[in-house]
Amino acid sequence: MTAQIIDGKAFSAKVREKVAAHVAKLKDEHGITPGLAVVLVGEDPASQVYVRSKGQKTVETGMNSYEHKLDVDTSEADLLALIDQLNNDPDVHGILVQLPLPKHLDEDLVINSISPEKDVDGFHISNVGLLGTGQKSMVPCTPLGCLMMLREHHGSLSGLNAVVVGRSNIVGKPMAQLLLGDSCTVTIAHSRTKDLAEVVRRADIVVAAVGRPEMVPGDWIKEGATVIDVGINRIDAPEKGEGKTRLVGDVEFASASERAGAITPVPGGVGPMTIACLLANTVTACCRANGVPEPEGLTA
């Protein structure tokens, strides 16, 4: 068996098209333009790339982009004051504080200072609680992207046996809640799970989000299973030359693709969906704030 490749890059383009269409509808029918504010503290190179890409994609879909770049030594009080200002700005419907933050800033305090209705990352404790109890919430972008791809591939997920390898607050736990919401039977596994290989082999759906390069080998995968690889790990690639690296996922792609029915590649799988879902969440937040019907297919 050779697995079908789930092309996250192509699917994310479809999601952004839906976002752009709904943004145009909001402008034409209601005179509303969704706005996303991104806050970057410091000059972390990777964070700068992410923020630049988010801003570009936001504008491309017709939304307003507001970027706030702060010095690395910005005080907690000043950062919280900016967030309070954005919370009270009616033109801002989504707020994202780029992580990680400098060590002198309390990430939990900062994230929980964002209005839950504008928390487009879905990290606020209120959104975590709402998601966990099956209520309407802002959903974390990466798990939402995984869910969208699974729904597209399978149609109904009802009754399928899903294993999430990884228990982080950002991916593993919310992913499990979303799969439960779609009536999967869900197991959360991790690096200390006993007989992890056997647990994974029972799964119709495997979501790998453990952060260890190629931790899940192909012989752990059930024949015909769907594999969603969230991992993005950089490893040495001496075959490319001295000092060169390459990106791999948490799943050993070559061997897993011989057994899986469908699989996401790394790169080009889950990664592009994260920004697409950030844009989708901003539109959803805008609609909720203005009492306008939400677009179908852009949230859980």
> DSSP character for 213?
T
| Beta-carbon count within 10 A of 286 CB | 26
Out of 18, 57, 98, 182, the active site residue is 98
**For the CA atoms of 265, 270, 275, 279, what is the dihedral angle to 10 degrees?**
130
Q: Where are the alpha helices (DSSP H) in the chain?
A: 8-30, 45-60, 76-87, 107-111, 125-132, 141-154, 172-181, 196-201, 253-256, 271-289
Kind and range of the H or E run holding 218: none
- Known active-site residue 121: yes
C-alpha closest to that of 153 among 251, 260, 258: 260
54 is catalytic: yes
Counts of helices then strands in the chain (DSSP H, E)? 10, 11
Q: How far apart are CA 37 and CA 108, in angstroms?
A: 19
Q: Which of 18, 54, 57, 173 is catalytic?
A: 54
Catalytic residue among 18, 57, 121, 250: 121
Q: Could you give the residue numbers annotated as active site? A: 54, 98, 121
